[in-house]
Chain A
């Protein structure tokens, strides 16, 4: 069905915009297209053997459907991307969208173990497999993960799962967001004798949106057995005044940016987290209402424009001065021309030539064609 659509596009010379569930329709660079190929109805879990801790699903399957199926077995697909669980597994892998647990558990590239995709040349390719360890042949799975549909349309994904931790607790810790203080915080978090499942610094607006008061806070999630979690809590005590808060806050945090008009990911090394935060915060102040959050241990800060911000493009100009990297996740189509154009390196261009020689898939999404 999907293969047929791509064959048709090849024959008819039509360019396709590839869409998952359509939950983040403003994600990625604008695409030159004649038609939209939606995978929203290409859904359903194909195979789930709980004892294997792996799951295979059609690409349009909503993360929420996977969460219910795995939750019933005490398991969990630890992708938890920003934006919540309305999105599809295919889009999450295709855009390599991570979430608050990525530092502890891994990025999408670490969690996906197999994909089936139809290339822009019309070939159906089954890469990887259903086992958690596999080095047979060249790694087309990693190649397609994060390729934004520009090499092929993912039709099926196999992922590794985790058992749900016996217990988890979330703390909200008052941490003043000074540049030096946050640099120091990142170093401290990385030198703990355990990995917090999540640690996310929130700006005052986001803290207030989550009803955590009007000051910036560090949200930390600690997981394990009871004795371990209690000791982890003890180890966090001297970071600042803290309170136990609901674990539900993490889902609220992930969906806080649901209808955002623009979001950016700023990154440098973790030890520069304070610098990254300060720079991102400075740029975001071009807006009235924005959320800022970041994982100090990973060194990544996200700027999320509030849906009320009609023109998020002001952040774009401020971002150009940053020394680290800024990845634009979402932006209104008319603001994209302000973002500096990307010219893919020769290897990436050659890969695209092999997998989508006619440029029928998401044309322009990886930069200049």
Chain B
């Protein structure tokens, strides 16, 4: 009998299976610093059939595995701790594009921007645009239900996926949804998107394509207080204008960006800037620009500038999209969160975050999707300094608690993965967590796909134990 690595080599070829520690180190982390888990084996199928054969081999061997796209996730979700890592980034074929009905069928390893580049000549694009879009894959986006700045107007991954072919962890292949997007029966596409690799492996994904806007206006509004910037956000949202993007950066982020090679010309003395993009039909767009300008000015903006050409627009966006990278200059490590609060709570939560940061003497850089209340409080720090590290973790925990208390969510687009498991109990009741476990058990009764992620196993187990104990007690009572 061959060893598991050898059996996998037979399927995908010897060069596509890694089993030596030195080779596996590169797969020990995703884009979230602070977590390292080394897989035992990494396998990289190159075709759909190879992928199915690998999944079936793992099922036959009863071996747990972690599906992985490009490893750009920010939740620790794609880490395989001593188990098999199933890399899908070689499945990068765009299978078909229907430019008339505006959808594409792609393999899971297709890079987000490659799809947009491929359909660009037809005046179309794939709308969800996570900041990692130049590297992240559609399969990974499906697993995490990825968002991005433009999902304020266009929606997140879930809104753009209409069908999937999935290899269940058992090796069975199922088709969910259809290209028309008309629901028949349960919304299994909706259930699968955002399942963080726990429900199986997408073999192909049918996504909607969106017509490129006829016109775009990118604006930068400059504020002397975070509070007034947050109030401007609320007033724009309440007004009914739906910007394509509405992003906020605070002074710590602005300074980090401006000191880096990604300098975008943001005012370094501002307390906050809003990057606002309006797009769509050319006619009347400038009237919306004027309305948004007036709302910002009324909220206290010092200035509102509209990018005059595509170069300036690209530069304004580069500062935003590379802000995480720019923070790398500030300190060697970074904690990243993506909690969400109701939009009217933004001014209060920003004040609370500042208070928490100052109390714990940490430096929070806020750069986030303000239009949908999706915060990104990032804390650059030095993990080798034990005292600083513990202050950072305390501060982060308090920020999360504050967001939950404000009626928010612990994650808006990065997913739970490993990193936010500990907050799940604070957000969901035991029966709700159990229902999530139940749903996972439907797709993966043996719990081999991405084990130990997303829903805390302990809570399910405790709940199951509690309910079975209760049942036993009751039975005992009835016998008495």
* Chain A residues with a Cβ under 8 A of chain B: 49-54, 74-75, 96, 106-107, 109-110, 119, 123-127, 129-143, 145-147, 151, 162-166, 187, 190-191, 193-194, 224-232, 265, 267-271, 299-300, 324-325, 327, 342, 344-345, 347-348, 350-351, 354-355, 366-367
**In contact, A226 and B284 (Cβ under 8 angstroms):** yes
Interface size of B by CB at 8 A reads 88
**In contact, A191 and B211 (Cβ under 8 angstroms):** yes
Asked if B287 CB lies within 8 Å of chain A CBs, one says yes
Q: Of all chain A residues, which has the CB nearest B408?
A: A131
| Residue of B283, B340, B427 touching A133 (CB-CB under 8 A) | B340
| Residue of A135, A145, A342 touching B413 (CB-CB under 8 A) | A135
A366 to B187, CA, bound (A): 12
**In contact, B187 and A143 (Cβ under 8 angstroms):** yes
**In contact, A136 and B411 (Cβ under 8 angstroms):** yes
B267-313 interface (Cβ within 8 A of A): 280-285, 287-288, 291
**In contact, A129 and B287 (Cβ under 8 angstroms):** no
**In contact, A133 and B373 (Cβ under 8 angstroms):** yes
Q: Residues of B contacting A130 with CB < 8 Å?
A: 342, 407
- Known A-B contacts A135-B194, A135-B415; the reply to A119 vs B435 at CB < 8 A is yes
**In contact, A344 and B241 (Cβ under 8 angstroms):** no
A129 to B432, CA, bound (A): 12
A144 to B25, CA, bound (A): 41
Q: Of all chain B residues, which has the CB nearest A126?
A: B432
Q: Of all chain A residues, which has the CB nearest B123?
A: A191
Q: Residues of A contacting B185 with CB < 8 Å?
A: 342, 344-345, 348, 366-367
A325 to B178, CA, bound (A): 10
**In contact, A143 and B431 (Cβ under 8 angstroms):** no
A127 to B340, CA, bound (A): 15
How near does chain B come to A154, taking the closest CB pair, in angstroms? 14
Q: Residues of B contacting A107 with CB < 8 Å?
A: 181, 183
- Known A-B contacts A227-B283, A269-B179; the reply to A136 vs B416 at CB < 8 A is yes
Asked if B379 CB lies within 8 Å of chain A CBs, one says no
**In contact, A135 and B144 (Cβ under 8 angstroms):** yes
- Known A-B contacts A136-B427, A166-B240; the reply to A110 vs B155 at CB < 8 A is yes
Which of B35-43, B316-324, B439-447 is the interface stretch?
A: B439-447
A96 to B442, CA, bound (A): 23
Count of chain A to chain B residue pairs whose CB atoms are closer than 8 Å in the complex = 245
A–B complex contacts, Cβ < 8 Å, 22 sampled: A51-B234, A51-B237, A52-B344, A96-B183, A123-B431, A123-B434, A124-B431, A131-B409, A135-B145, A135-B411, A135-B412, A136-B416, A146-B183, A163-B238, A163-B240, A193-B282, A227-B283, A232-B281, A267-B182, A269-B101, A347-B174, A367-B185
Q: Of all chain A residues, which has the CB nearest B344?
A: A51
A53, A141, A147, A187 pick with most chain B CB within 10 angstroms: A53
**In contact, B239 and A225 (Cβ under 8 angstroms):** no
- Known A-B contacts A136-B420, A224-B281; the reply to A109 vs B190 at CB < 8 A is yes
| Residue of B156, B158, B240 touching A162 (CB-CB under 8 A) | B240
Q: Residues of B contacting A228 with CB < 8 Å?
A: 281, 283-285, 287
Q: Residues of B contacting A231 with CB < 8 Å?
A: 281-284
Q: Supply 20 further A-B pairs (C-beta < 8 A) apart from A131-B342, A133-B151, A140-B432.
A: A74-B240, A107-B183, A109-B183, A124-B429, A131-B372, A135-B156, A135-B416, A136-B409, A136-B424, A138-B454, A142-B187, A145-B187, A147-B186, A165-B240, A193-B214, A226-B287, A229-B284, A265-B182, A325-B184, A345-B174
A135 to B455, CA, bound (A): 12
B379-413 interface (Cβ within 8 A of A): 407-413
A72 to B465, CA, bound (A): 50
Q: Of all chain B residues, which has the CB nearest A103?
A: B181
Q: Residues of A contacting B420 with CB < 8 Å?
A: 136
How near does chain B come to A311, taking the closest CB pair, in angstroms? 26
Q: Of all chain B residues, which has the CB nearest A228?
A: B284
A138 to B149, CA, bound (A): 23
**In contact, A138 and B436 (Cβ under 8 angstroms):** yes
A230 to B281, CA, bound (A): 12
Q: B151-182 toward A: CB 8 Å interface, digit per residue (1/0)?
A: 10001101100000000000000100011111
Q: Of all chain A residues, which has the CB nearest B210?
A: A195
**In contact, B416 and A137 (Cβ under 8 angstroms):** yes
B190, B410, B424, B433 pick with most chain A CB within 10 angstroms: B190
- Known A-B contacts A136-B420, A193-B211, A354-B442; the reply to A348 vs B283 at CB < 8 A is no
| Residue of A109, A146, A227, A342 touching B287 (CB-CB under 8 A) | A227
- Known A-B contacts A109-B190, A131-B409, A344-B185; the reply to A53 vs B155 at CB < 8 A is no
Q: Residues of A contacting B291 with CB < 8 Å?
A: 225
Asked if B414 CB lies within 8 Å of chain A CBs, one says yes
**In contact, A125 and B182 (Cβ under 8 angstroms):** no
How near does chain A come to B378, taking the closest CB pair, in angstroms? 18
A366 to B188, CA, bound (A): 14
A151 to B194, CA, bound (A): 20
Asked if B125 CB lies within 8 Å of chain A CBs, one says no
How near does chain B come to A338, taking the closest CB pair, in angstroms? 19
A147 to B183, CA, bound (A): 10
| Residue of B194, B283, B285 touching A138 (CB-CB under 8 A) | B194
**In contact, A163 and B281 (Cβ under 8 angstroms):** no
- Known A-B contacts A130-B342, A347-B188; the reply to A271 vs B100 at CB < 8 A is yes
**In contact, B187 and A131 (Cβ under 8 angstroms):** no
What are the 7 tightest A-B residue pairs by CB atom distance, in nearest-first order? A163-B240, A142-B190, A228-B284, A231-B283, A227-B284, A194-B281, A51-B344
- Known A-B contacts A129-B408, A187-B100, A231-B284; the reply to A137 vs B187 at CB < 8 A is no
- Known A-B contacts A53-B238, A231-B281; the reply to A132 vs B372 at CB < 8 A is yes
- Known A-B contacts A131-B341, A163-B241, A224-B281; the reply to A354 vs B188 at CB < 8 A is no
**In contact, B411 and A134 (Cβ under 8 angstroms):** yes
| Residue of A126, A137, A325, A347 touching B182 (CB-CB under 8 A) | A325
Q: Residues of B contacting A226 with CB < 8 Å?
A: 284, 287
How near does chain A come to B285, taking the closest CB pair, in angstroms? 7
Q: Residues of B contacting A227 with CB < 8 Å?
A: 283-284, 287
A350 to B438, CA, bound (A): 10
Q: Of all chain B residues, which has the CB nearest A268?
A: B180
| Residue of A123, A190, A193, A367 touching B102 (CB-CB under 8 A) | A190
**In contact, A139 and B191 (Cβ under 8 angstroms):** yes
**In contact, A143 and B373 (Cβ under 8 angstroms):** no
**In contact, B186 and A143 (Cβ under 8 angstroms):** yes
**In contact, A133 and B369 (Cβ under 8 angstroms):** yes
- Known A-B contacts A265-B182, A269-B179; the reply to A140 vs B436 at CB < 8 A is yes
- Known A-B contacts A163-B241, A190-B102; the reply to A134 vs B412 at CB < 8 A is yes
A143 to B443, CA, bound (A): 13
A130 to B372, CA, bound (A): 11
Q: Residues of B contacting A146 with CB < 8 Å?
A: 183, 186-187
A123, A126, A232, A367 pick with most chain B CB within 10 angstroms: A123
- Known A-B contacts A135-B411, A136-B416; the reply to A125 vs B432 at CB < 8 A is yes
Q: Of all chain B residues, which has the CB nearest A162?
A: B240
How near does chain B come to A130, taking the closest CB pair, in angstroms? 5
Asked if B448 CB lies within 8 Å of chain A CBs, one says no
A49 to B345, CA, bound (A): 11
